[in-house]
Amino acid sequence: MKKTVHLVQQKENVFYKIMESPIGTLLIETSKEALLSISFADKGLMVAIEPAPHPILDEVIVQLKEYFAGQRSRFDIPLKCKGSDFEKKVWQATCEIPYGKTRSYGELAESINNKKAYRAVGGALNKNPIPFIIPCHRILKSDGSLGGYAFGESLKRRLLELEGCCISLVK
């Protein structure tokens, strides 16, 4: 099930833009300095938002389009994530997983020196405010199966296929 954002009021010093992508309508939110979030948006409820021109917004859209077209394997966008210290540590470690590679929840927990926290790692990934750029779709169960994904297993499989991951392991 997709997470959907319903936004009715634009915040001060926050810029929004809607992007049509191959996976659905995305709402991109930035500050003056960094990307804050990417979420699925209900386009019908988004008419109140006027797109705000901003260089970070424009660059996020360019890089996401390249990623979905299979032309980009690394993102170069400043990020600012709201979350606990633990969540931020998990998200940072997730960003270090190369394009086309996967890790298990346990391996990710071990990479942050907390190998027993694999379930907490899953919880942190579920709260990832910047999917695709913080590639939580690259995390699998220890047996190679997909495991959970905030936006559904079908999208997770599709993103892994896009990246050419060992899809035989993720059936």
User: Are the beta carbons of 81 and 88 closer than 8 angstroms?
Assistant: yes
Q: Give me the count of residues in the chain.
A: 171
The DSSP call for residue 15 is E
CA–CA gap between residue 20 and residue 106 (Å, rounded): 34
Check if 136 is active-site. Answer: yes
User: Are the beta carbons of 124 and 70 closer than 8 angstroms?
Assistant: no
Instruction: State the burial class of residue 108 (Cβ atoms within 10 Å of its Cβ: 0-12, 13-18, 19+).
Output: buried
Q: Closest Cα partner for 38 from 23, 50, 27? A: 27
User: 131 — phi, psi (to 5°)?
Assistant: -60, 160
List 81, 136, 165, 166, catalytic entry = 136
Enumerate the active-site residues: 136
